[in-house]
Amino acid sequence: MIKKQAIDFSSSGSIKLQDAYFRYGNSILFENINFDLSYGKISCLLGVSGIGKSTLLRLFAGLVSPMAPTKIFGVTEPPAYMGQNDLLLPWLNVLQNTLLGPRLRRKKQDITRALELLKMVGLSEHVDKKPRHLSGGMRQRVAIARTLIEDSPLVLLDEPFASIDSLNRHKLQTLIAKVLSKKTVLLVTHDPLEALRLGHRIFIMEGIPAKIRELKITLGDNIPRNTSRADVLLAQADLLKSLAPDNNQ
- Residue-wise pLDDT tens digits, 24-65: 888 999 999 998 999 999 999 999 989 999 999 999 998 988
pLDDT band at 143 (very low <50, low <70, confident <90, very high): very high
The confidence score (pLDDT) of residue 247 equals 52
Residue 75: closest CA among 14, 32, 34, 31: 14
Beta strand spans in the chain (E) = 2-5, 14-24, 27-38, 42-46, 71-73, 80-82, 154-158, 184-188, 201-206, 211-217
Q: End-to-end distance of the chain based on CA atoms, in angstroms?
A: 19
The confidence score (pLDDT) of residue 249 equals 47
Q: Taking 90 as the threshold, does the pLDDT of residue 148 lie above it?
A: yes
Lowest-confidence range among 9-23, 132-146, 176-190, 198-212?
9-23
Reported pTM: 0.89
Q: Taking 60 as the threshold, does the pLDDT of residue 87 lie above it?
A: yes
Do residues 185 and 214 make contact, with C-beta atoms less than 8 angstroms apart? no
